[in-house]
Structure 1
């Protein structure tokens, strides 16, 4: 694209028949600031670009123009999966084979479920060491077991490794998250199942989403729908992630289409008892994702309305989800210019955010802090700022 962002903004504003003052009112940025952007005296920021894109119905052109290209180097983590093959093919073997019955396997699974429940309401560093130890134990036992116990252990190890990747991301360790995700895929293949192998691409798409890389998010989510033999649930979760990628790119039609297909597939899904459920355990993961996507599309009033409804459905113990989507709700209110409501809802969210100590939640809180900073003289902003600052600098 030869034209600058400012030139494109002026072109879209003229096509929409809006004055600079009217655009300023709709996106809650000052007329002077927008004038500097339009005259290429200041660089655009992604938040301003998506709000202008929505207000001017630019179809994602402004979002794309403002986005800095980022790439994902997956080669650095591809070697992680070879660890599993080496362990299975040439791992050291003890002098005896432990006798494992269904009760032992059920106990190991229950232990993981307890750690996952703990991970929903506390810092990831509390559970990470135990999760890693469980993966190692289950893998070592699988090496020295016969079928069908061997496959059951490998599938359980794969599920624990997948969740370890998620907790690594929550702790701010993205390279570790990728490595554990790839290891989960290799363990699942060794156990004779492609379910987690497919879901691993959904997880990688999630990492790309948090890097604000829409093209990689969409591509990885689509790979999840093609790799192996994904179930209706995994395809639904992949489409959910694909929709969020389209929203990040500013493509409203593609986002809505993918979301609708995700709803249909998740309604058809059935439970698989071979290992604990993959993906979100929220009552309506699509509703939460839709609210998230509306915010990325610049439809901030709709986003806040949807997230209000969905947050009311989350159980009290689901602190991590409440913090994540609560922060996004407050951000939607702030971007819509509802500053008092943003601060009010943020006060409800900060305790959860402090307890779960999430690197990804802090990303949204930092965006929110920057947005509220434009109203730093506002009474409710001054009142909430010390609490918000403590959470952001707590890690």
Structure 2
């Protein structure tokens, strides 16, 4: 017997399109946690899961598929399908949207090029890039922290890893932002499909040109190493090399930009925690973990129900979408004591920001490294930094969580 979806709402109204909810989703998500842990959201046309154990259960359960691209595409009209054909072509190569055995194959190949040694080798690049950016900002009285620091830093690092010139940063950001409207499940942009298709076409053409250059003149970068994998068993196709390069670029800067932006905002809003970190810089690793939990760069992850089954007495039907709310899971009092308190010494701190199970984020070590170096140096070298506004608007995206801009004052 199927579930009456309206009955799961228990009188709670959750509208992810509301800017107030986008800016601060935790209050309503906590209400869902307590009263409607499996909630049908009309606006999303999918289920919303909020409890920590349930979120982990979905992320590690074979009853759910990470491939949300194929069923979405197949459900569209022929006209819509033709308008997003290239976007889907490349997103379908992303390991994030794959189930075993394809997920296993791609992840194994990617780990050979994106190794712990590769990440450790980037520390010097991160430190030099942070110094460059702060040198430029020290003398300014005010600036947008996102566009002047939180975005360019991880972009500089991932461009270095990919062997791409910094002067291409603005174009790549434009194309990436257009794709983000689709990948991030924007809820209010009516043109998101057309814009995302345009971004994918431009970015794919860019990487196709880069591949030709690398074939003629190999370097010591991720794209060259990805191309070398075409010579091994289970080799990457050209589309997979292009798609994986797009994934490295997108994932390599988006998550870390939001980690740094959200993190600095949290510290500026909690002056006692900020001072504690200034007094004891060795707390930076713990502080970054608490930032990842308290206001991390991940809002949700999406899965598709593979086999009809029940959760908390609610029937989930095969083919339905499920939004597992990472931010809600990170604020579940069943998993964290006093979850609304920002405590940079919190331990243990088993947040789910980098996912859980087989899809745990391979870029987590690099994001942590960049966050630790960047936030530590911002506090040390910009001690007079303050927020220029009480409230800021977060981006319209279910998947990522980050600020559109963050005006700050630099009191010297």
Q: Which has the higher contact order (CA 8 A, sep 6+)?
A: 2
- In the superposition, the TM-score normalised over structure 1's length comes to 0.28
Higher Cα radius of gyration = 1
Higher strand share: 2
With normalisation by structure 2, the TM-score equals: 0.28
Give the structure with the larger helix fraction: 1
